[in-house]
Amino acid sequence: MLIRKPADIIPSEITPPEIYADRRRFVEKLGLGSIALALPSLASAGNKLAGVVSSNYKVPDPSTPYKYVTRYNNYYEFSTDKEEPAEAAQTLKTRPWTVSIEGLCAKPQTIGIEDLLKFAPLEERIYRMRCVEGWSMVIPWVGFPLATLLKRVEPLGSAKFVEFTTLADRKQMPGIGSRVLDWPYVEGLRLDEAMHPLTLMAVGLYGEELPNQNGAPIRLVVPWKYGFKGGKSIVRIRLLDKMPGTAWNKAASHEYGFYSNVNPEVDHPRWSQATERRIGEFGKRKTLMFNGYDEVAPLYAGMDLKKNF
């Protein structure tokens, strides 16, 4: 096991002041069109997804423009910079691709991405997304409920948690050489959170296959939790009886808990979580409890959410 001193840990990189300064520069650049000129091929990178049905899961907020959704990303396997993954992740090979679903289930299986794309009706869902760093977006995802996939492998009664492991391939991902996180990027949910109808396996956005920088070919989306819970480019899903260790919790356990529900009343130790900046907008918005997804509150009935942050 790699033991690191707090001084070696870089989560402190994600302090909001830098982010805001970074964002302002970014928005200015987009306004001037310099990125669009530099990277013309990214403007319409994706293949259209066929047979996408509408759904009731659509927030009324306007969607964040495609250019921000696909050019302001956190994908540390490629870079800790927000603008670099759009270009750097173009080297990610998303075919062939399989997801292995294993652990405490009756029917463990490995499923290829082609089958995952036709596995269940693909729905468009417009979700509010909130990064722990203090910015937010509204993203029209395309995907299917994780519950549909989990039911197929028949979880055993002893399964209480779900662990998600994402690709960590040094050859394709320059960021794996850095020790900012203990790779692979691992995340986890309680089984009832994973089975909640809002929990989505996303395979696309804006009607197209996921751009690599957004987690192609398949990633997790949990809209009432901070964005880092949604692992990108998932290769393994494991049913467990114990709470899995997660990458951010291992990096800084006092800053990133297992639950990581969006909660304006529980501040990050280094900054307030009461407000957020919606990318593409000016000024600040109030952050909503559970990111506005009140229907998940029963999952946490009786829990102290300050302790279980």
Residues annotated in a binding site for Mo-molybdopterin: 73, 76-77, 131, 166, 214, 219, 230-232
Q: Binder to ligand MTE among 63, 79, 165, 166 (CB under 6 A)?
A: 166
Going by the annotation, the residues of the binding site are 73, 76-77, 131, 166, 214, 219, 230-232
Interaction with ligand MTE in 23-82: which residues (CB under 6 A)? 73-77
Quick one: 74 or 213, whose CB is closer to Mo ion?
74
15-27: burial string, b at 16+ Cβ within 10 Å, e else: ebeebeebbeebb
Residue 164 touches which of ligand MTE, Mo ion, none (Cβ within 5-8 Å per kind): none
Strands (E), the chain: 98-103, 109-112, 123-130, 135-145, 161-166, 186-190, 200-205, 208-209, 219-221, 234-240, 275-278, 285-286
Q: Residue 154: what residue type?
A: E
**Nearest approach, Cβ of 145 to ligand MTE (angstroms)?**
19
Among 66, 135, 228, 256, binds Mo ion (CB under 5 A): 228
166 binds, among Mo ion, ligand MTE, none (CB under 5 to 8 A by kind): ligand MTE
Report whether 193 contacts 199 (CB < 8 A): yes
Instruction: Specify the residue, 113 or 276, whose C-beta has the smaller distance to Mo ion.
Output: 276
Q: How far is CA 211 from the centre of its chain?
A: 13
Q: Of 75, 83, 81, 92, which is closest to residue 38 (Cα–Cα)?
A: 83
Q: Which of 141, 144, 185, 293 binds ligand MTE (CB under 6 A)?
A: 185
Rule CB under 6 A: say whether 228 interacts with ligand MTE. yes
Query: What is the β-pairing status of strands 161-166 and 186-190?
Result: antiparallel
Task: For residues 152 and 305, give the distance between their C-alpha atoms in angstroms, rounded to a whole number.
Answer: 32
Tell me which of Mo ion, ligand MTE, none is bound by residue 185, counting a contact when its beta carbon lies within the kind-specific cut-off of 5 to 8 angstroms.
Answer: ligand MTE
Q: Does 230 bind ligand MTE (CB under 6 A)?
A: yes
- Does 198 sit near Mo ion (CB under 5 A)? no
Shorter beta-carbon distance to Mo ion: residue 23 or 149: 23
Q: Are 291 and 128 in contact (CB under 8 A)?
A: yes
The residues, ordered by sequence, that sit 6+ positions from 132 with a Cβ below 8 Å of its Cβ are 14, 226, 227, 228, 256, 260, 268, 273
Does 131 participate in binding Mo ion (rule CB under 5 A)?
yes
- The number of beta carbons lying within 10 Å of the beta carbon of residue 242 is 9
Q: Does 19 bind Mo ion (CB under 5 A)?
A: no
When asked if residue 204 is in the footprint of ligand MTE (CB under 6 A), the reply is no
Binding site for ligand MTE (CB under 6 A): 73-77, 131, 166, 185, 214-215, 227-228, 230-233
